[in-house]
Amino acid sequence: MWTGILIAVAVLLALAVVFGALLGFAAERFRVEGNPLVDQIDALLPQTQCGQCGFPGCRPYAESIAHGDAINKCPPGGEATIKALADLLDVEPQPLDAEHGVEQARRVAVIREDECIGCTKCIQACPVDAILGAAKHMHTVIESECTGCDLCVEPCPVDCIDMVTIEPDIRSWSWQPPQPTIIATDRQGASA
């Protein structure tokens, strides 16, 4: 009887050793570099790099969220981003934290070129290198690359940068959902 138990224990031990080694090997071999959650969160953030959340860019905020920070600090992303983050992290969506700003329409920076003195301060401030120019020469914003982050407005010594809301034009237009319906009889009554 004892031999039977011993054999069983030995077999189980051997199995444990084998699988332990296998798991250890797999953990080493297929180690995930970095934190994949940070990448997923970063992909959902709007990448304006505006710093309104209090972090120097979207990725640092993504890292902070991955470590348990609140998900409602991103005004450019607004409700949509909060909802997407809540889905990803499986937490309750919260309203946007007004302390960090309010959601507003997409904007771009526009330099009033006549007034620009060519100080390059805005170029240094732009987080996405969307401002073109050289010292003592006029600068201009590459509109298609501008994220509307606002960061160039403050450093300008002559206040020649405006934030302009993008008006929808014929090329960016898309269909709106049908108007919410009212009761049929009401409408008939109204038109009669």
Partner 1 sequence: MTQLWNFPGGIHPPENKHQSTARPIRKAGIPERLILPLQQHIGAPAEPLVQPGDKVLKGQKLADVTSGMGVPVHASTSGTIVGIELLPVPHPSGMSDWCIVLEPDGDDAWCELSPIADYRKLHRDDVLNLIREAGISGMGGAGFPTNIKLRPPSDRKVSTLIINGAECEPYITADDMAMRERADQIHGGIKIMSWILRPERCVIAIEDNKPEAVEAMRKASEGTQAEVVVVPTKYPSGGEKQLIQILTGMEVPSGGIPADIGVMCQNVGTAMAVYRAINRGEPLISRITTVTGAGVDDPGNFEALIGTPTRHLLDQAGFHPERVNRLILGGPMMGYTLEDTSVPVIKTTNCLIAATENELPMPPPEQPCIRCGMCAEVCPMELLPQQLFWHARAQDFDRAEHLNLFDCIECGACSFVCPSSIPLVQYYRYAKGEIRTQRAEQIKADRARERFEARQARLEREQEEKERRREERARAAAEAQKKKEAEAEKAVAEGEATDERSARAAMVQQALERKKARPAAAATSEASTEKPDIESLEKQLNQAKGKLETMESMLDDARAAQADNVEKLERAVAKNLDRVKRAEDALTEARKQLETEDGQ
Instruction: Give the total of residues touching partner 1 (CB under 8 A).
Output: 29
Please state, as a whole number, how many other Cβ atoms lie within 10 Å of the Cβ of residue 99: 10
Q: Segment 126-165, which members bind partner 1 (CB under 8 A)?
A: 127-130, 145, 147
- Does position 182 interact with partner 1 (CB under 8 A)? The reply is yes
- Nearer to partner 1 (CB atom), residue 114 or residue 169: 169
- Does position 181 interact with partner 1 (CB under 8 A)? The reply is yes
- Residues tagged in the binding site annotation: 50, 53, 58, 74, 116, 119, 122, 126, 146, 149, 152, 156
- Nearer to partner 1 (CB atom), residue 112 or residue 187: 187
Instruction: Tell me if 71 sits within 8 A of 47, measured CB to CB.
Output: no
- Nearer to partner 1 (CB atom), residue 2 or residue 175: 175
Nearest distance from residue 4's CB to partner 1, in Å? 57
- Does position 75 interact with partner 1 (CB under 8 A)? The reply is no
State which of residues 49, 71, 139, 160 lies at the interface with partner 1 (CB under 8 A). Answer: 49
Three-state DSSP state, 5 = helix
CA-wise closest residue to 146 among 168, 170, 163: 163
- Nearer to partner 1 (CB atom), residue 102 or residue 183: 183
- Does position 90 interact with partner 1 (CB under 8 A)? The reply is no
Nearest distance from residue 44's CB to partner 1, in Å? 9
Tokens 């969307």 belong to residue: 130
User: Across-strand partners of 161?
Assistant: 111
Nearest distance from residue 61's CB to partner 1, in Å? 12
With a CB cutoff of 8 Å and minimum separation 6, the contacts of 147 are 46, 47, 48, 49, 50, 76, 127, 128, 130
Beta strands in the chain (DSSP E): 107-111, 131-132, 140-141, 161-165
DSSP sequence for 58-84: HHHHHHHHHTT--S---TTTHHHHHHH
Instruction: Tell me if 86 sits within 8 A of 74, measured CB to CB.
Output: no
| Interface positions with partner 1 (CB under 8 A) | 42, 45-49, 57-59, 127-130, 145, 147, 169-170, 172-178, 181-184, 187
